[in-house]
Structure 1
Amino acid sequence: MSAAAHCPALLVAAPASGQGKTSITAALARRHRDAGRRVRVFKCGPDFLDPMILERASGHPVHQLDLFMVGEDHCRRLLYDAAQDADIILVEGVMGLFDGDPSSADIAAHFGLSVLAVIDGSAMAQSFGALVHGLASYRQEVAVDGVIANRIAGDRHADMLRESVKPPVRWLGALPRDTTFALPQRYLGLLMAAEIPDLDSRISACSAALPDDALALPPPVAFPAPAPSPLPPMLQGRRIAIARDACFAFIYADNLAVLREMGAELRFFSPLAGEDLPECDALWLPGGYPELHAEVLAADRQWQRSIRRHHAMGKALLAECGGMMVCSEQLETADGPFPMLGLLPAQVIIQDRLGGLGLQEVDLRTGVLRGHSFHYSRIETDLIPLSRSRNPNGGRDEAVFSCGSLLASYVHFYFRSAPEATAMLFSARQ
């Protein structure tokens, strides 16, 4: 077995969501990159939006680290591969450091990553230190090495926060409250990177404001070489068309890698641009924001007719979350109802409250595919589900529908969790 790869590595975490983790992780990545270092960034948990920002900052694709969805073995391989090529690895946490099962703290403990805590200090003084102490002492195997105060009011405010922090946690400085750093959001989280026209200037402004103490390289971490785990060529020769644009944007980079490793030829097209479905054996409509583009999607265009023909011919069609919404008969938004593809006898209603959130797994007979769901809509149909997902944390499950060659669900699948089941998804089902 090859020797371990060594690389400085750091997990950027917070006591809660909304503290500024993504902005500061992106700023760190950009600052190290501008200094000539090779930077690789990961994101804890199932997330499509933050990785888009982090990819822009680092210049490299951002993969997920999640002990349930991705699995410990593949997380280890991703980190090992990155360590062979990088001067620094940054991992952005999810939610609060100890929130969820598995949590960001679990990632830190499993892989020996020291933690940089980012805390919004805008409404705190000495209690800042108590919060830092709590994070640092909550789990013995999780090492909170340093802290950055975010959104502070000025020098005197920073001094109060600094004086409250006790060793062994290091005070690494503070960033001011500044709208030029802020990343705009909507209900699912941050806007997509392509939707923020001045994203690079926002990242650069935050990068320039980083305190110098935060830029020292963290200690190197040894990442043992994993055992080889090649995927069998179960999709050899199959052409898979994938919708990819501002509507269909929620695609894990590793999912594309899995399809290619199994021998598939990938062909991308943009329904929003009116591009026709390319010649293919199977079709994947991933998630995204169809509700923001409902009027364009509702117009009768050639790409819609070609997808209907694809379905009528019994060719495999996987529709995840937003893709399922487009396959329904009708999508109802605040602007009214819009006709969709009509492949699924259902209507989808956008609502102003959360419809589903959590890790999921689905038994597809050839394997149990893992993933997650996160949506602000509900589906109404008389169709009996083929099966239902299971939430490992006891939360809401999701229906999985089969209609001819269409398999549709709110679940975003992580393909590497069950390669045989993934191959089945892109094989004819009618």
Structure 2
Amino acid sequence: MSNPLVATVPAALISAPGSGQGKSLVTAALARLHRNAGRRVRVFKFGPDYLDPMVLEVASGAPVYQLQPWMTGEDECRWRLAQAAQEADLILVEGAMGLFDGTPSSADLAVLAGIPAIPVIDAWGMAQTFGAVALGLASYRDDLRVTEVIANRVASERHGALLKEGLPDSLSLLGCLPRDEALNLPERHLGLVQAGELTDLDARLDRAAEVLLQAGLDRLPAPVTFDAEPPAAPPALLQGCRIGVARDAAFAFIYPANLDLLRAMGAELEFFSPLQHRALPKVDALWLPGGYPELHGAILSDNTGMRDAIMAHHRANKPILAECGGLMSCMTQLVDGDGAVHSGFGLMPGTATLTKKLQGLGMHAWPLHGHTLRGHTFHHAVVETPLTASWKSQKQSGTEGEPIYRSGNLVASFFHGYFPSAPEMVAGIFSGTLTE
């Protein structure tokens, strides 16, 4: 057995009573504040989100991994935190939704890892009631440590004083953040605008960090001791396999852990852009991850060289995994949010249509042959196709989830998989040996 990883480092989970309180920007600004002070900062995101981690990576200067005990497994959560603690001066975890929302919740992760939670509470329209909200979060569970809170959207010094007065003696106010445009980032239908699309993101983060510094939020949280066993190495089931990974503004929803696993199983990764490149690199398999193909339908449709190359790959019966936006791009047609019709890659008959209404959200799993690939779904689109699903994912509740289509060696679905949860299944997809 390998030696356990043990290290002690200041750490905190930044959460909130609910979505929209400002925790994403506060976490990013905290990361940038401490990075600018010369500290090595590692940030994690609770849950399956792709967009917040892009911003957090720019803010911290280090890769951001997902932690979700059901999806990634409890042991992996402990190991990733312990591994980060070997090199970091500060660890931050951004929660999801409200502190106690979901099964498991952000609070469950905090308890699992022994991390204190620091709620960000939107104080707009509140005075002493702020203390009641903070006390409720702090006392809801006996096994969760909450000793300080952050007030957001505070109107004035007097407002901040009222908030502080309303807190019980067991809680302290880490800082009051003013109503400042620096603490906002643009959003669209799936969440934050991708970090790569914000040309002034570094400047925005520096301004946000300065706001936090002026509010006195530069104090490090309490130290936490992390202890975990490193995982066993995955089997080298993809040795010598060259996988082309689409990665650009249209295809960007990629877990760093998925890339790590493919490499650990022996695969060589070749990144390419369906938006910019006219041909595929020389590869044995393709991965078309999720993203925003609907925002770039005209460019993808006009890039006939790339479409022909992907079609030739498919006709040669070489493996392809298409997830969510990747599935949409594989259809004969793609209808964007304005109703404009674009040509897809044409690997599957039918039409993908963007919708205003959310069509799928939640944690899902795909059980097959004694293995279970876990992940999630989150999409504003529907697919109409004459193809019959070869498999169905299962919602965390156990009910039927997303159709998973197979056309030759193409596997396509709205389901996003977390590869480390089922290395053998993933190897079967990319090697073309997956059986029904």
Letter in 1 for 2:259: L
Q: Secondary structure at the match of 2:294?
A: helix
Q: Aligned to 1:309, which of 293, 312, 323?
A: 312
The residue number in structure 2 matching 1:424 is 428
The residue number in structure 2 matching 1:234 is 237
Q: Secondary structure at the match of 2:233?
A: coil
The residue number in structure 2 matching 1:40 is 42
Cα distance in 1 for residues equivalent to 2:433 and 2:360: 28
Contact 2:323/2:414, CA 8 A, preserved across alignment: yes
Identity of aligned residues (%): 51
1:103-122 Cα deviation digits (max 9, x unpaired): 10000010100011101111
1:327 CA drift (Å): 0.3
Cα distance in 2 for residues equivalent to 1:396 and 1:41: 34
Letter in 1 for 2:401: D
Q: Aligned to 2:257, which of 244, 254, 259?
A: 254
The residue number in structure 2 matching 1:168 is 170
Cα distance in 2 for residues equivalent to 1:184 and 1:245: 19
1:62-101 Cα deviation digits (max 9, x unpaired): 0001001111111111111100001110000011000011
The residue number in structure 2 matching 1:51 is 53
Q: Secondary structure at the match of 2:327?
A: helix
Give 1:75-224 correspondences, 5 Å limit. Answer: 75-210=77-212, 211=214, 213-224=216-227
Runs of 4+ residues deviating >3 angstroms: 393-396
Q: Secondary structure at the match of 2:147?
A: strand
1:348-389 Cα deviation digits (max 9, x unpaired): 111101010000001232621000010001111221111111
1:213 CA drift (Å): 4.2
TM-score normalised to the size of structure 1? 0.97
1:395 CA drift (Å): 6.8
Give 1:209-358 correspondences, 5 Å limit. Answer: 209-210=211-212, 211=214, 213-333=216-336, 334-358=338-362
Which runs of no fewer than 5 residues in structure 1 stay unpaired?
A: none
Change in CA separation of 1:220 and 1:135 when aligned onto 2, cut-off 3 Å: same
Moved more, 196-205 or 15-24: 196-205
- 2:379 matches 1:375: yes
Moved more, 343-352 or 59-68: 343-352
Cα distance in 2 for residues equivalent to 1:224 and 1:238: 35
1:429 CA drift (Å): 5.0
Change in CA separation of 1:185 and 1:395 when aligned onto 2, cut-off 3 Å: farther
Moved more, 363-372 or 348-357: 363-372
Letter in 1 for 2:261: V
Cα distance in 1 for residues equivalent to 2:152 and 2:278: 44
Give 1:374-413 correspondences, 5 Å limit. Answer: 374-393=378-397, 397-413=401-417
Cα distance in 2 for residues equivalent to 1:300 and 1:221: 51
Change in CA separation of 1:264 and 1:359 when aligned onto 2, cut-off 3 Å: same
The residue number in structure 1 matching 2:68 is 66
Report how many residues are paired. 430
Change in CA separation of 1:120 and 1:225 when aligned onto 2, cut-off 3 Å: same
Moved more, 387-396 or 275-284: 387-396
Cα distance in 2 for residues equivalent to 1:332 and 1:345: 14
1:149 CA drift (Å): 0.7
Change in CA separation of 1:395 and 1:145 when aligned onto 2, cut-off 3 Å: farther
Q: Secondary structure at the match of 1:79?
A: helix
Letter in 2 for 1:94: A
Which runs of no fewer than 5 residues in structure 2 stay unpaired?
A: none
TM-score normalised to the size of structure 2? 0.96
Cα distance in 1 for residues equivalent to 2:231 and 2:301: 46
Change in CA separation of 1:395 and 1:52 when aligned onto 2, cut-off 3 Å: farther
- 2:27 matches 1:22: no
Letter in 2 for 1:132: A
Cα distance in 1 for residues equivalent to 2:254 and 2:230: 27
Contact 2:393/2:404, CA 8 A, preserved across alignment: yes
Q: Secondary structure at the match of 2:84?
A: helix
Moved more, 381-390 or 45-54: 381-390
The residue number in structure 2 matching 1:11 is 13
1:167 CA drift (Å): 2.4
Letter in 1 for 2:105: S
Change in CA separation of 1:370 and 1:21 when aligned onto 2, cut-off 3 Å: same
Cα distance in 2 for residues equivalent to 1:228 and 1:192: 31
Change in CA separation of 1:166 and 1:396 when aligned onto 2, cut-off 3 Å: farther
Cα distance in 1 for residues equivalent to 2:358 and 2:143: 34
Q: Secondary structure at the match of 1:10?
A: strand
Letter in 2 for 1:55: E
Cα distance in 2 for residues equivalent to 1:364 and 1:296: 37
Contact 2:177/2:215, CA 8 A, preserved across alignment: no
